Amino acid sequence: MQELTGLRFKRLLLTGAAGTLGRMLRPRLKRYCETLRVSDLAAMEPAGDGEEVVIAPLEDEAAMLALLEGVDAVLHFGGVSVEKPFSTVLPANIVGAYNLYEAARRQGTRRIVFASSNHVTGFYGQGETILANVVPRPDSFYGLSKAFGENLAQYYFDRHGLETVSIRIGSCLPEPQDRRHLASWLSHDDMERLLVAALSAPVVGHSIVYGCSDNRTTWWDNAQGRHVGYRPQDSSEPWRAQLEAKQPHIDPTRPEARYQGGVFVTQGPFPFAGQPGGEGA
């Protein structure tokens, strides 16, 4: 894929660089900056040309302050990205998000692209289409922590002028794996398109955009975020027939089918006792 912008940032920071998405994004982001600083808890590939590799736990306030030094903009992919007990989600995604934003404020960072999640609104139904300004209906502790991050981003913009694009990522995978992904899939190239748009738009305040490809089926309408300039180019359509053939029967009364969040809505050591949402209204 050709370069998507004429901008070249002095130093971008990618957190969560050891994760699956982080590893995919690292070489892609390198092209848009002089220096790419990557960080994570865990060991990463050694620094290549124009790279800086830092081990920095999100929970460590001092480490985060140091990490943000000299950073123009952050792509915050660090933290827990699946459902976990609250005690696990809390330090990584809540304390960690606070540490990141506070460090960014103190270091004068201008913008954060926040890897939020569709699980912020996972309790809306698969039978409805929503805009980004709906009331959050998180489907998990994970989704709850991402809703916290979005509110934090709004606060840091309103109070401190620090801008954020919150991306409610769908299913970012090389290929869609099941029928839910026909709606939620975000290709790797479209992820790059979205990140570059979020970094290069001159003014964003705090904007929220769903991260999905140009799938024929979707639950999300980004009409309110056109100023961010994201235009997906990929689609889950080529996988449709094959995935539908593989998974012909879906029971629409099961929670994981009824809700956009899929299996997230039933995870954890307790039975599902919630209420189906506003489909059909």
Residues catalogued as catalytic: 142
Question: Taking contact as CB under 8 A, which single stretch among the options 16-24, 38-46, 47-55, 252-260 is the one that binds its own copies?
Answer: 252-260
d(Cα 123, Cα 256) in Å, to the nearest integer? 10
Question: How many residues at the interface with its own copies, by CB under 8 A?
Answer: 95
Cβ 43 to its own copies, closest distance in Å? 29
Q: How many CB atoms lie within 10 A of CB 113?
A: 25
Stretches 18-26, 34-42, 167-175, 270-278: which one binds its own copies (CB under 8 A)?
270-278
Q: With respect to its own copies, which residue has the nearer C-beta, 169 or 197?
A: 197
Q: What angle do CA 9, 42, 96 make, to 5 degrees?
A: 70
Q: Report if residue 123 touches its own copies, rule: CB under 8 A.
A: yes
70 binds its own copies (CB under 8 A): no
Which of these ranges, 14-22, 34-42, 52-60, 144-152, lies near its own copies under the rule CB under 8 A? 144-152
Nearer residue to its own copies within complex by CB, 39 or 93: 93
Q: Among 46, 174, 269, 275, which residue interacts with its own copies (rule: CB under 8 A)? A: 275
Decide whether 81 or 166 has the Cβ nearer to its own copies: 166
Any bridge partners for residue 39, and if so which? 15, 54
Q: Does 27 bind its own copies (CB under 8 A)?
A: no
In the region spanning residues 180 to 239, those forming contacts with its own copies, defined by CB under 8 A, are 180, 182-183, 197, 200-207, 216-221, 223-231
Among 1, 45, 50, 86, the residue binding its own copies under the rule CB under 8 A is: 86
The nearer residue to its own copies, 20 or 224, going by C-beta atoms, is: 224
8 forms part of the interface with its own copies (CB under 8 A) = yes
Among 46, 49, 159, 174, binds its own copies (CB under 8 A): 159
